[in-house]
Amino acid sequence: MIAILDYSAGNIRSVMDAVHRVGCEAIITADPAEIMRADKLIIPGVGAASVAMESLKSLGLDKLIPTLTQPVLGICIGLQLMCKHSEEGDIDCMGIFDSNVTKFKQGHLDSDGRLLKIPHMGWNSVNGLKTPLFESIESGTYFYYVHSYAPELCSDTIATSEHGVTFSGALNVNNFYGTQFHPEKSGEAGERLIKNFLNL
């Protein structure tokens, strides 16, 4: 059973649609018993990390999720909630990944000397790919991003992207994975990544 976490953080239906596109079924749930029984858990997310973290706490899931032993994939805010701390709302998160989430700073220029926009929105290459999450995906493949905050580089980084600074495009420690980009919005490469996760 594949579970998609429902904690009022948005983007749930598009993640469900992406799972369906790779030929799998999933349930949408916030029930701790169902989450513990699931073979895989996906934590989607769009919005503010501080609000999403408070939602997890209200459901008691901030304590449960770090104890899970099945593969877990956090997407965008879902990844950020698994980091140590987020500047967005100055909130402590679940501390699964050894990274802090920081805001992109104004004033950075791209390679053509143009001012980089915040939020970082659109397609960007993802490099230095590691782990079976990226099986059959080449370094430099483009994925879709929408964010103003990003996880810093750390020992758990398994992919990087650049937007004025180099940041973690994906993280992994043990059974926990996270992508700052949105695989459900990233075409064939995103479908491949979701399929790879579901095959772990």
Instruction: Give the residue numbers marked as catalytic.
Output: 76, 182, 184
Name residue, tokens 């990003």.
150
b/e per residue 5-37 (b: at least 16 CB within 10 A): bebebebbeebbebbeebeeebeebbeeeebee
Q: In the chain, which ranges are continuous DSSP H helix?
A: 12-21, 32-37, 49-59, 61-64, 77-80, 187-198
Number of H helices, E strands in the chain: 6, 13
